[in-house]
Chains A and B, each alone.
Chain A
Amino acid sequence: MGTTSAVGDIASGRVTPEQAAENLGDLHPLYTEHQARAEADRCLYCYDAPCMDACPTSIDVPLFIRQIATQNTKGAATTILEQNIMGGMCARVCPTETLCEQVCVRNTSEGQPVKIGRLQRFATDHLFASGETVFARAEETGKSIAVVGGGPAGLSCAHSLARQGHQVTVYEARPKPGGLNEFGIAAYKTVDDFAQREVDFIVGLGGIEIKCEQRLGENISLDDLRQAHDAVFLAIGMGGVNALGMAAEDSAGVLDAVAYIAQLRQAKDPSRLPVGRRVVVIGGGMTAVDIAVQSKLLGADDVTIAYRRGQEQMNASGYEQELAQTHGVKIKLWAAPVTIHSEGGKVASVEFARSHLDKTGKLVLSDDHFQIEADVVFKAIGQTVETAAVSELKLQGGRISVDARRQTSLADVWAGGDCIAGGEDLTVAAVEDGKIAARAIHAYLTEGA
């Protein structure tokens, strides 16, 4: 663009291609053998270990760590993948500081948990590098299941069912499977095309066919799928994004964070992406942190996350907040966006009201306003489920309503992951949903339950 005007300073090439590659490189590199064994040695092999309970997929953490310590890395990977087929991705993206590592007893003894996530990555990466397989399919059952959505929930369910001998077809809207693993997770958390390698590992089991560019509600319908298959699992995630509902929201430079990250994740050379000099991110979750940090890494000068509540209410964990801050991102709390100001169709600044919670915990905006200038404003205020495609199902709070076994209001339709009510918006939770649903579907198909 090359503009020198005060507003709309958006340009590509703020960093060189080499810098971009380096900046977006592995946040926590793979442990060496020695690091892994030294860290594994810290595990106390707790009885009825709290970390196992804290893991949504109930990985037997003490066992896999002991297997690493005893140089049985393949056994360790098997222990992990048995419970969580995306143990490799989860090792990279799980907010372990609020899951397994939060409850590690080493926190109590010395304030430092065993680095469970990094050990998990060590085990699974080694298995992937060896090219060995650890799972085999049961005899063909002749049953077929449609899985809609090729993200963590869909692929986890597909793998479980295929292992049981069922035939699974995954209908995926995008040209590539992987869901947010491929299009959403911050680049520095999953380098070297790991998402696709993991998909290949899962599909390598056999019995899973992925059909891309098949969008439920467009070129396929739930009715068709129910007729063609014995059961359906919906794992469509959240395709829609929340809007701020402000005039000038469509000004140039006001962007949807998730869409931008998808572009970034697919870019051959991320340094070519347009990056604002001054970036304001509106939101307080993982997406807000991710877009803020990645903007910084691509050369943005000044990046501010503005969140309308306080630190405790932020969905981004303490660790994520720290990650933002160590990358030079400012976090502005108690700042509720009220107006987007633009000049000549380009965003110029965001006006915020200072906010607080009243006694009942309700958010109150004051009359005290301030502005932050911006060339780019990212909206990271949450996503929504595109429910039009599943209108025949009972919904709850805009998401698909399911029971404990992930069954929807239709007896032959299950759902899991981000698209269900009560979803935790975590990769690991989506994997667990897929697992639970697969168990229920298997029972339904074999026992007619």
Chain B
Amino acid sequence: MADLRAEFLGIRSPNPFWLASAPPTDREVNVTRAFKAGWGGVVWKTLGLDPHVVNINGPRYGGIHSKDRTVAGFNNIELISDRPLQTNLDEIKAVKQAWPDRAVVVSLMVPCDEASWKGILAQVEATGADGVELNFGCPHGMSERGMGSAVGQVPEYIEMVTKWCKKHTRMPVIVKLTPNITDIRLPARAAYAGGADAVSLINTLNSITSVDLDAMAPEPTTDGKGSHGGYCGPAVKPIALNMVAEIARDAETRGRPISGIGGITEWKDAAEFMALGAANVQVCTAAMIYGFRIVEELIDGLNNWMDSKGYERIDQFVGAAVPNISEWQHLNLNYVVKAHIDQELCISCGRCHIACEDTSHQAITQTVNGVRRFQVKDEDCVGCNLCAVTCPVENCITMVQMTEGVDPRSGQPINPDYGNWTTHPNNPQATGVG
């Protein structure tokens, strides 16, 4: 059994799975249930100043489903905590006392003035919480009031507020980033420059999940109108992974602590975030859809995988994939693959054929000697992977590397040496001869 204990900014938790700041961490009952279920930590639902905000009484959530109703994407127009500040503070204190081995971090969002931040930090410190997370990410409602992503989209503000916070608290400060920005490296750099101990990302993406075509209004609809919300869940994971990776390999921020968030549902999602440099992960949607029990699978799955790989502690693989993230221009152009269809596994649906035929390189047969059979024509295959993506059977189509001989498509011998675009003869800016 691997050791799943995590230490993030000196905050210890029995495992790297935290619940993200959201309804699951909104109150003592929820958090207590979460800790009973086995979650390593929580980031408490974002606190603001009194008088507390109010939520709409219409529907707050929307979803994108597959036809069998699996939730692929989740959308919300909820605000930060809609309870009195003191209620939250009292409950945080009680929970931390009852669960000293779990991480309790408190998410904060107050107006952009130093006094407001200073005041609330003192109040949070008094609860015994382990740290704070600055919510610069909420993309709806709060941003219209000059908070949340309105701050997160301006690196100068991030740096300024982070500095105030570091000045006024001894607690570790995590800055939660909004993905609603063109280059995620800029807010990350600003956060670290302001003294942040870590960044966490992503918060939700601006979204309209669907349109009610009868009412002609975006969903979820309140009294005939709908406003944009924040998108999360499995659909946003690739976006989040890329943003984490950008920060993990940026020369200015490389190696700095990151808490990974966005669509984590299974242990494998978590392991991927960690491989790209996240030292721990936070989960919201998956818990909201399936309940707290999913943490059992997260823990067990990660554990078994670590055992199978010989990892004893999580820091042994955190960031392990970062060195392999490359610029496109540095990918090896001499690496040649051809699709291979395992005829034993093939169920003859023909999707690879029509996908390649209609939209790629006409490199898969429909019949061989008059019989329905899908076979790759190496002389036409560019190894694009489209067929493997559309294939409904796992591992039926694989990309097999050519290591010798001549590529029947290009007529060129396989070059065993590494060669990339920067030296390619077709590149007007080529720096040398390949």
Contact = CB atoms under 8 A, between A and B. Distances in A.
A37 B350 contact: no
B349, B392, B393, most chain A CB atoms within 10 A: B349
Given A109-B392, A109-B393, A48 B350 contact: yes
Contact of B392 (A44, A47, A69): A44
A48 B350 CA distance: 7
A38 B349 CA distance: 19
B353 A38 contact: no
A105 interface: yes
User: Which bucket holds chain B's interface residue count?
Assistant: 10 to 19
A47 B347 contact: no
A44 B67 contact: no
Contact of B348 (A34, A41, A50, A69): A50
A46 B66 contact: no
Contacts of A47: 349-351, 353-354, 366
B366 A48 contact: yes
Nearest to B374: A47
Contact of A69 (B67, B347, B349, B354): B67
Given A48-B366, A109-B392, A109-B393, A41 B351 contact: no
Interface in A19-57: 34, 37-38, 40-41, 44-50
A51 to B, nearest CB: 11
B349 A46 contact: yes
B68 interface: yes
Contact of B66 (A34, A41, A49, A50): A41
Contact of A37 (B67, B372, B393): B67
Nearest to B367: A48
Contacts of B392: 44, 109
A108 interface: yes
User: Which bucket holds chain A's interface residue count?
Assistant: 10 to 19
Contacts of A45: 351
B67 A41 contact: yes
B348 to A, nearest CB: 6
A40 B347 contact: no
B347 A108 contact: yes
A105 B68 contact: no
A38 B68 contact: yes
B67 A46 contact: no
Contacts, number: 41
Contacts of B351: 44-47
A37 B66 CA distance: 10
Main secondary structure of the interface of B (DSSP, over half): loop
B347 A105 contact: yes
A40 B68 CA distance: 9
A113 to B, nearest CB: 11
Contacts of A69: 67
Interface string B356-384: 00000000001000001000000000000
A37 B68 contact: yes
A200 B291 CA distance: 52
Contacts of B68: 37-38, 41
A47 B349 CA distance: 6
A49 B66 CA distance: 23
Nearest to B66: A41
B154 to A, nearest CB: 42
B374 to A, nearest CB: 9
A109 B68 CA distance: 19
A105 B67 contact: no
A50 B347 CA distance: 11
A50 B354 CA distance: 14
Contacts of A106: 347
A69 B65 CA distance: 12
A41 B69 CA distance: 10
A41 B349 CA distance: 15
A109 B347 contact: yes
A46, A47, A48, most chain B CB atoms within 10 A: A47
Given A37-B67, A38-B68, A41-B67, A46 B350 contact: yes
A34 B393 CA distance: 25
A44 B351 CA distance: 8
B394 to A, nearest CB: 10
Interface in B33-75: 66-69
B429 to A, nearest CB: 42
Contacts of A41: 66-68
Interface in A79-129: 105-106, 108-109
A47 B373 CA distance: 12
B350 to A, nearest CB: 3
B66 A105 contact: no
B67 A40 contact: yes
Nearest to A70: B67
A40 B66 CA distance: 11
Interface string B375-415: 00000000000000000110000000000000000000000
Contacts of B353: 47
B213 to A, nearest CB: 11
A69 B353 CA distance: 23
Contacts of B349: 44, 46-47, 105
Contacts of A105: 347-349
A34 B68 CA distance: 8
A219 to B, nearest CB: 52
A182 to B, nearest CB: 36
Contacts of B348: 46, 50, 105, 108
B67, B68, B347, B353, most chain A CB atoms within 10 A: B67
A41 B66 CA distance: 8
Contacts of B69: 34, 38
A108 B366 CA distance: 18
Interface in A58-74: 69
Contacts of A109: 347, 392-393
A105 B393 CA distance: 11
A44 B66 CA distance: 14
Contacts of B350: 46-49
A48 B353 CA distance: 10
A63 to B, nearest CB: 14
A105 to B, nearest CB: 4
A40 B354 CA distance: 20
16 contacts: A34-B69, A37-B68, A38-B68, A40-B67, A41-B67, A41-B68, A46-B348, A46-B349, A47-B351, A48-B354, A69-B67, A105-B347, A106-B347, A108-B348, A109-B347, A109-B392
Going nearest first, the 3 A-B pairs with the smallest beta carbon separation are: A41-B67, A47-B350, A47-B354
Given A41-B66, A47-B351, 18 more contacts: A34-B69, A37-B67, A38-B67, A38-B68, A38-B69, A41-B68, A44-B392, A46-B348, A46-B349, A47-B354, A48-B354, A49-B350, A50-B348, A69-B67, A105-B348, A106-B347, A109-B392, A109-B393
